[in-house]
Structure 1
Amino acid sequence: MGVDRQATVIFDYGEVISLAPDSTARAAIERISGVPAEVLWPAYWAERGDYDRGLAAPEYWRRVAQRCQTTWSTTQLQEIWAADVASWLHVAPTSVALIDRLATRGVELALLSNAPADIAGALRRSPIVRPFSALFFSCDIGLSKPDPAIYRHVLSELASSPSETIFVDDREDNIVTAKELGIDAHHYTDAAELESFLSDRLG
């Protein structure tokens, strides 16, 4: 894979570079919380957008507990928080290897993730972000995908035009918005398909 034009490739993190939290991790959070899965996870996701945009963890989990009609002790909250953060830090080796190959070939890489401050803080010190020249987290910007404003912010910060930018994400709504802005976007399903797409784009 060689680069025959200048291009910046922007990667999403969750379920592109990272693995989705597995059943063991989810079961641990359910056990600590004492809340059935069918109640806990809708509450978890209903408040996640604000958490991703900068809401502090204690307030996020207070809101989740309120939706679940329960309360948690400080110890429970700490264990739930730790289990949740840890569940998002496991990465897909094939995706990481592809990113390393792109970096070796001189492709400019950036990260754009909907991530709360707790996960963003861990990722900033993570070995997997070393190939990236820029890291963008929704918690810092106060915006989250698929809001067009977050894409415009990133393009401005990178001084990259949409036509010079490739975006990779696993969520269709995020891809749709990127394409509407003129970004060459790829809906991620697996690393082999992504590598084929990038080979076609980058040469």
Structure 2
Amino acid sequence: MDRTGPPSAVVFDIGGVLGGSADGIFAFAAELGVAATSFAAAYWRHRDAYDLGSAAEDYWNRVANDLGRVLTAAQVRRLDSADAQRWSELAPGAAELIDAIARTGVQLALLSNAPRSMAEQVRGSRWGARFPTKLFSCDMGLAKPDPGVYATVEDALGLPATELVFFDDRPVNVLAAQQSGWSAFRWQGPRQCLTDLASAGVAVPGA
């Protein structure tokens, strides 16, 4: 990869990286009185359309229908709010990592496949304010690993692919970024992130 200097921006995924986990699946399954495996299958089956901007009501009612359940409007709002919150809460060590990287002077950006409710949660959070550029699939109408997503980020940042470093928990998304010319790494926690950043040319003080 041709690069004349250190990277200018570090781009992070959110769910499974800076925040969020799959733990909420069990609580949601219990609320609906179904097995966690059944709930998870229905939850992910319809997720792509939801991440691309479909309405929360449509998504949750499709999930419920697959499970033989009927949701009230209040249940939809509660499930959607809880789901958005769990995905957008910072994971342990993430806040310190963000602070450390910010001190290097590189730009920080977010790139997430996310529905509107999650995007709103992140935009309204204190930690989300640390990222001037926040790009979500629900707004773009495109989702990783579509090559157009990475081109959109480059345009938003005003930077070429060779000046971007990216972290994501899904190998397919990492590979797509690499094929677009980015320096991309599979997320393996804050400590490994610092090592990967150093290898990409971002020296984090104190790391």
TM above 0.5, yes or no, is: yes
Are 1:136 and 2:100 an aligned pair? no
Are 1:94 and 2:81 an aligned pair? no
Q: Secondary structure of 2:185's match?
A: strand
Residues 79-102 of structure 1: per-residue CA shift (max 9 Å, x gap): 322332232132123122111111
Superposition deviation, residue 18 in structure 1: 0.3
**Aligned match of 1:30:** 29
**Aligned match of 1:14:** 15
Superposition deviation, residue 15 in structure 1: 1.2
Instruction: Name structure 2 gaps, 5 residues minimum.
Output: none
Q: Secondary structure of 1:143's match?
A: coil
Q: Which runs of 4+ in 1 moved over 4 A?
A: none
Code of the residue aligned with 1:134 in structure 2: it is: T
Are 1:111 and 2:110 an aligned pair? yes
TM-score, structure 1 normalization: 0.91
Contact kept, 8 Å, 1:175 with 1:186, in 2: the verdict is: yes
Give the number of equivalent residue pairs. 198
Over aligned residues, Cα RMSD in angstroms?
A: 1.5
Contact kept, 8 Å, 2:15 with 2:88, in 1: the verdict is: no
Residues 155-186 of structure 1: per-residue CA shift (max 9 Å, x gap): 11211111111111111000010011111001
- For 2:14 and 2:139, the matched residues in 1 are separated by 15
Code of the residue aligned with 1:202 in structure 2: it is: V
Instruction: Name structure 1 gaps, 5 residues minimum.
Output: none
TM-score, structure 2 normalization: 0.89
Superposition deviation, residue 146 in structure 1: 0.7
- For 1:129 and 1:191, the matched residues in 2 are separated by 17
- For 2:19 and 2:103, the matched residues in 1 are separated by 21
- For 1:146 and 1:90, the matched residues in 2 are separated by 23
Superposition deviation, residue 14 in structure 1: 0.8
**Aligned match of 1:167:** 166
Contact kept, 8 Å, 2:85 with 2:121, in 1: the verdict is: no
Code of the residue aligned with 1:54 in structure 2: it is: G
